[in-house]
Structure 1
Amino acid sequence: MTNRMHNFNAGPAALPAEVLRKAAAELEDYNGTGMSIMEHSHRGESYETVHYEAIATAKRLLGISDAYDILLLQGGASLQFAMVPYNLLAQGKKANYILTGSWSEKAKKEADHLGETYSGASGKDNHYSRVPDFDTIRTDATDAYIHLTSNNTIYGTAWQDFTRVSEWEAPVIADMSSDIFSRPLPVENFDLIYAGAQKNIGPSGVTLVIISKTLLEKTAAIAGDVPAILRYRTHAEKTSLYNTPPTFAVYMLKNTLQWIEANGGLQAMDARNREKAGRLYDAIDESDGFYRGHAHPSSRSNMNVTFTLPTEELTERFLEGAKNKGFSGLNGHRSVGGCRASIYNAVPLESCEALRDFMVAFQKKHQ
């Protein structure tokens, strides 16, 4: 296929070409069954094989021990904003939300409807241009849980290291929707991780949840009156087959995870993502201020590169010119403005190099 766009959309985002071709080849006849995987019963052997392969591959890639369960849910990260406090925010406790952008704000706002919360740190005063320094984050052993967002798509910032979160005494919860499976991850330092698939690991429609069995047991006393569909224990006990799962999204998740595994795993993804981001950050840093990165260098994301141009007029010209050259999804979020290149796992290095070349040429023409 030669007419593929350079896809920099923030999500739903680029999928690996090999995964798309595999899905196309199997769309009408999955594995010789004479039916699409979308047509198979979620109680049948064909789909169940896909379902459990997806879970097994995720465990292998992240090195997840038997101390954790993997759940395949629906509703995206937005539903998790509610499920987390429904299951973990006990009366008389406070949930601690570390604010690093719009998505962590939304997560806290949802929890505010269900109980008491506070913010142990916030980057709002610096317009979320950097992740708070670890030593400035206030936590307490009595916190119901501590919630962080690992990568901030709108602002282009990310946590660089998760080693010290193991020092926190309360359960640690992370929204990793936009960078999970992009780099190695110390899962053992977290009690619950959730991620909408539509950035790095598949299309929209399925949400991956990794939850420790110890934490899962604790939810029993808190979520007893919560509707069954909103309890983590419900889905763990039914191996994510309590209700009809998004079967095609799970199939695509499985194929995408196997693509990551076949292409060197998380170490290889990390090296490749750093190289891709480096091309774009070099173009920004070497532009003498023509391009200005929103994120402080110490907090730069390798998934979302955000930058502005000197004027709104130049920004519009840049985006129009980029569109004419076959680039898609470069508009910045309305709260930040400017431009954003989302360069998840499936975005090839060649697309980042093409964008870098366009940025250099545009600057020479308009500076």
Structure 2
Amino acid sequence: MKPNARPNCPDFSSGPCAKRPGWSPEALKDAATGRSHRSKLGKKKLAEVIDRTRALLGIPADYRIGIVPASDTGAVEMALWSMLGARGVDVLTWESFGEGWANDVIKQLKLADARTLNAPYGQLPDLQLVDWGRDVVFTWNGTTSGVRVPHADWIRDDREGLAICDATSAVFAMDLPWTKLDVVTWSWQKVMGGEGAHGMLVLSPRAVARLTSYTPAWPLPKIFRMTSGGKLSEGIFKGETINTPSMLAVEDAIDGLAWGEQAGGLQGLIARSNANLAVIEKFVAERPWIDFLAASPSIRSNTSVCLNIVAPWFTQLDAKQQAAAAKKMADLLEAEKAGYDLGSYRDAPPGLRIWCGATVEAADVAALMPWLDWAYAEIEREFTAQAA
């Protein structure tokens, strides 16, 4: 039987993510539309995003915060192309985005002294093998695998290399240890439900020292350049963006940060994400057909929650049939307006991915759960009949 109730907001995409509760276009009425981002008003708005971000996340006063082009990808690329090559580099990969950064380091930058520490989807590499005499590139939370690092104890305080962290689906939902990190990136479109195309880049004093003392062997595009004449371009970290930002998106980012402050600050946002995960944990614990992709609870994401279908009939299908069954399940949920964009990432094992970041309501996650049972029963009936 189909459930009687649906989520009030069926938006469970892992990016762009659900808007904050109660959002409407009215929230953008004070946007500096039609104004230059270089105007006094434009720069004030951009600086407000930086200042509120610092306060909400507790970022140290001596860390720089910049708004950069091209979302989290642009922010990571700026760091990789501007800073790597000064020493060896370790790249940690356990899902598609980490693999993408490894590809850039090895095949694009062609760094000879680079190695990757790999783990399959659902697991982490051995973090004790990381060499902190080298630069280290890693994701804090694997958006496409639902696997996060469990803590920061493995990051040495006396490291010689830089800790370069893609934290796009972790920031605002997990408590990041800023003094353990030298470069941190994310985008507005994740936990705070902002709009795409803009990235955030945080630099520690050690990262700034690298930028001002090291010149890469390769040319840098204009949008990657953070120094001029051997000095840091400080304006980037005061709201003077390298390229023209959308002032509507800037206003939306301000609105999201203001909501985060009212929702209990960082700890309140973390609690909301944890509450959403708890709903799914209870559901999974009570059903034999579904499980988390993450191998253990200690590395389980509370934002990009990835689930596997583990019923015997499903695991006996070949890879193509599994992908078709999982897609059919996600399509059924979308057709019923019970949950949108729930399919696993294209490179991940077939299954479901449910965004549980802070802008999602636990009541909506709870309303989605009976629909998972219904959609699973539909695909089980269809695919077991085909097998027969």
TM-score (norm 2): 0.82
Measured after TM superposition, the shift of residue 363 of structure 1 is 5.8
Indicate how the Cα distance of structure 1 residues 217 and 294 shifts in structure 2: closer, same or farther if over 3 A, else same.
same
Letter in 2 for 1:176: A
> Match for 2:156 among 154, 166, 170?
166
Between the aligned residues of both structures, percent identity stands at 21
Distance in 2 of aligned mates of 1:178 and 1:90: 27
Distance in 2 of aligned mates of 1:246 and 1:9: 22
**1:187 correspondence with 2:178:** yes
> Mean Cα displacement is larger for which, 43-52 or 229-238?
229-238
Distance in 2 of aligned mates of 1:287 and 1:362: 14
Distance in 1 of aligned mates of 2:207 and 2:275: 37
**1:8 correspondence with 2:51:** no
Q: CA offsets per residue over residues 294-321 of structure 1, 9 Å max, x none?
A: 1112321111121233434753553243
| Contact 1:308 1:315 (8 Å CA) reproduced | no
Mapping 1:308-319, distance limit 5 Å: 308-309=308-309, 310=311, 311=314, 312=322, 315-316=326-327, 318-319=329-330
Indicate how the Cα distance of structure 1 residues 67 and 292 shifts in structure 2: closer, same or farther if over 3 A, else same.
same
Distance in 1 of aligned mates of 2:276 and 2:7: 21
**1:321 correspondence with 2:320:** no
| Contact 2:67 2:199 (8 Å CA) reproduced | yes
Distance in 1 of aligned mates of 2:325 and 2:82: 48
> Match for 2:71 among 58, 73, 76?
76
Distance in 2 of aligned mates of 1:38 and 1:59: 25
| Contact 1:11 1:199 (8 Å CA) reproduced | yes
Q: Give the match's secondary structure for 2:64.
A: strand
Q: Give the match's secondary structure for 1:308.
A: strand
Letter in 1 for 2:210: K
Could you tell me which residue of structure 1 aligns to residue 26 of structure 2?
Answer: 24
Measured after TM superposition, the shift of residue 48 of structure 1 is 2.1
**1:340 correspondence with 2:353:** yes
Q: CA offsets per residue over residues 88-131 of structure 1, 9 Å max, x none?
A: 1235x2221111211011112112222235335221xxx22122
Q: Give the match's secondary structure for 1:131.
A: coil
Distance in 2 of aligned mates of 1:80 and 1:205: 11
> Match for 2:124 among 131, 148, 171?
131
**1:203 correspondence with 2:195:** yes
Q: Give the match's secondary structure for 2:65.
A: strand
| Contact 2:47 2:239 (8 Å CA) reproduced | no
| Contact 2:165 2:184 (8 Å CA) reproduced | yes
Letter in 2 for 1:130: Q
Distance in 2 of aligned mates of 1:24 and 1:320: 32
> Mean Cα displacement is larger for which, 346-355 or 331-340?
331-340
Could you tell me which residue of structure 2 aligns to residue 213 of structure 1?
Answer: 205
Indicate how the Cα distance of structure 1 residues 229 and 305 shifts in structure 2: closer, same or farther if over 3 A, else same.
closer
Q: CA offsets per residue over residues 164-221 of structure 1, 9 Å max, x none?
A: 3134432111001111111222111111101122111311021011101332132123
> Match for 1:121 among 92, 117, 124?
117
TM-score (norm 1): 0.86
Measured after TM superposition, the shift of residue 15 of structure 1 is 1.3
Indicate how the Cα distance of structure 1 residues 64 and 7 shifts in structure 2: closer, same or farther if over 3 A, else same.
same
Indicate how the Cα distance of structure 1 residues 213 and 169 shifts in structure 2: closer, same or farther if over 3 A, else same.
closer
Distance in 1 of aligned mates of 2:166 and 2:233: 19
**1:237 correspondence with 2:241:** no
| Contact 1:182 1:200 (8 Å CA) reproduced | yes
Indicate how the Cα distance of structure 1 residues 156 and 26 shifts in structure 2: closer, same or farther if over 3 A, else same.
closer
> Mean Cα displacement is larger for which, 79-88 or 354-363?
354-363
Letter in 2 for 1:330: L
Distance in 2 of aligned mates of 1:211 and 1:319: 39
Could you tell me which residue of structure 2 aligns to residue 222 of structure 1?
Answer: 214
> Match for 1:350 among 363, 376, 379?
363
Distance in 1 of aligned mates of 2:226 and 2:32: 26
Q: Give the match's secondary structure for 2:33.
A: helix
Could you tell me which residue of structure 2 aligns to residue 33 of structure 1?
Answer: none
| Contact 1:5 1:328 (8 Å CA) reproduced | no
Indicate how the Cα distance of structure 1 residues 106 and 362 shifts in structure 2: closer, same or farther if over 3 A, else same.
closer
| Contact 2:72 2:198 (8 Å CA) reproduced | no
Could you tell me which residue of structure 2 aligns to residue 65 of structure 1?
Answer: 60
Measured after TM superposition, the shift of residue 76 of structure 1 is 2.1
> Match for 2:97 among 80, 103, 108?
103
Q: CA RMSD in A?
A: 2.5
Distance in 1 of aligned mates of 2:330 and 2:214: 49
